[in-house]
Amino acid sequence: MKQILVTRSSMPSFEEYADEIKELWDTHWLTNMGVKHKQFQKKLCEYLKVNNIELLTNGHMALELTLQAMELSGEVITTPYTFASTTHAIVRNGLTPVFCDIKPDDYTIDADKIEALITDKTSAILPVHVYGNICEIEKIEKLAEKYNLKVVYDAAHTFGETYKGIGVGNFGDASIFSFHATKVFNTIEGGAVCFKDEKYSAKIYDLKNFGIHGPETVSGIGANAKMNEFCAAMGLCNLRHIDDEIAARKKIYDKYCELLADVKGVCIPSAQKDVKNNYAYFPVVFDEDKFGKSRDEVAEELLSEGIFARKYFYPITSAFDCYKDRFNPLDTPIAYDVSKRVLTLPIYGELGEENAEKICRIILK
Ligand code: T4K
């Protein structure tokens, strides 16, 4: 039986990639901010409509080192409805995540519930543009101004998106992106961060390159989180095809919407106002009482037909084993509830509308 996975890395042709990396065999310059890194950085700034971008080894290190660069302390308000990385980045910086609930319509942080969680220990808000849904930027900005808090967006899912025509990397004090193999846009592994204040670009550069300032000068206590030339080359290739990939994803997304809209007990995404979408994920939330089957039953049925839908994001991070006895998942009842009912359906450019139809047929059966 042919398997369909939740996503499939988009790749250029072998020849295109081989052509892109050919010069590395002449120069033998494979990493440490080489030519491909520089070219890719410049091209990304243009595509993402941002003034600055630092490239890193992956999205997680971009986030973890950004929090470190901002010298945050105490508590960070965030949501548990996300991938492990968001919460781990906070905890691994010695900070305490304070979990705010999400909105039931787009699963992003409920900005109206943030203020009640702010204490004299709060230093930042870390909202997640989950599935590519943009958070309530204006409300969050107002709160940050009022309480003098930093805002770091986990924009791992929002490559290429705009809000009111502005590149999503421009919001908050920083926004981090993931270029992992499973993302709309990939550099095999990779990540990046954009800052409002460019002074942080120098800080993150130190943190990703041992704090080295010259062959005999080390003035910062940095780690190693540089993007290498092969990943940057993959980025240069994939960037040439990104608009086609997003357009192909839109067709799948529209097909799912067409076939699953108006089905009782099935909640599908709705378009956000003023947002240019990248169609990163297609989350479906099942109401067992109305639909007649639970999320888990639907997932099993799909699996029996070789279709690997995924339960992103179940469990919520506050329910992880590693955080047992530390957080209470019931503090965020909406996130907890949605996580038990959500299934993200396969979506990627090469999936094809006929496969999307097949997936819907199985669900509706
Ligand atoms: N913040 C958020 C909100 C995130 O979602 C993520 C990552 C991060 C931060 C951190 O960014 P990175 O440090 O990862 O750059 C995957 C990804 O590994 C992860 O990047 C992503 N979020 C998360 C949502 O999904 P898994 O453990 O579910 O991946 P895996 O290996 O099960 O792969 C899923 C499917 O993707 C496979 O069934 C097939 C396909 N696939 C996978 C790989 C590895 C490919 O087509 N090619 C591949 O090379 O975490």
Q: What is the 3-state secondary structure (H, E, C) of 82-103?
A: CCHHHHHHHHHCCCEEEECCEC
- Those residues whose C-beta lies under 8 Å from the C-beta of residue 162, and which sit 6 or more positions away, are 49, 168, 275, 276
Any ligand 1 atom below 6 A from CB of 82: yes
Say if 4 falls within a structural domain: no
CATH code, domain carrying 87: 3.40.640.10
Which pair of structure tokens corresponds to residue 71?
């010298």
Domain boundary among 201, 236, 271: 236
One domain, residues 219 and 112: yes
Radius of gyration of the chain measured on its C-alpha atoms: 21
One domain, residues 356 and 255: yes
Domain boundary among 236, 252, 275: 236
How many domains, in total, are found in the chain? 2
Low-confidence ranges of the chain (pLDDT < 70): none
Q: Cα(240)–Cα(242) distance, rounded to whole angstroms?
A: 6
The answer to whether residues 76 and 126 touch, using CB atoms and an 8 Å cutoff, is yes
Say if 115 falls within a structural domain: yes
Closest Cα partner for 200 from 150, 235, 166, 126?
A: 150
Which residue is associated with the tokens 């939330």? 285
Q: List the domain range (segments joined by +) for residue 334.
A: 242-364
Any ligand 1 atom below 6 A from CB of 11: no
Q: State the pLDDT at residue 156.
A: 98
Closest Cα partner for 169 from 191, 148, 149, 186?
A: 191
Say if 3 falls within a structural domain: no
Domain boundary among 175, 208, 236: 236
Nearest CA to ligand 1 atom 20: 180
Give the Å distance between the CA of 60 and the centre of ligand 1. Answer: 11
Say if 2 falls within a structural domain: no
One domain, residues 181 and 293: no
Give, for 178, the enclosing helix (H) or strand (E): strand 174-178
One domain, residues 92 and 230: yes
Any ligand 1 atom below 6 A from CB of 170: no
The answer to whether residues 94 and 72 touch, using CB atoms and an 8 Å cutoff, is no
Best of 5, 91, 158, 180 for a ligand 1 pocket test (most atoms within 8 Å of beta carbon): 180
Say if 1 falls within a structural domain: no
Q: State the pLDDT at residue 32.
A: 97
One domain, residues 26 and 115: yes
One domain, residues 99 and 190: yes
One domain, residues 150 and 248: no
Q: State the pLDDT at residue 1.
A: 81
Say if 8 falls within a structural domain: no
Burial class of residue 174, CB neighbours in 10 A (0-12, 13-18, 19+):
buried
- For the CA of 61, the closest atom of ligand 1 is 13
CATH code, domain carrying 267: 3.90.1150.10
- For the CA of 180, the closest atom of ligand 1 is 15
One domain, residues 189 and 286: no
Alpha carbon 105 to chain centroid distance? 18
One domain, residues 209 and 267: no
Nearest CA to ligand 1 atom 25: 182
Which residue is associated with the tokens 């800080």? 203
Any ligand 1 atom below 6 A from CB of 78: no
Q: Cα(47)–Cα(167) distance, rounded to whole angstroms?
A: 9
Cβ atoms within 10 Å, residue 103: 20
One domain, residues 104 and 225: yes
One domain, residues 264 and 153: no
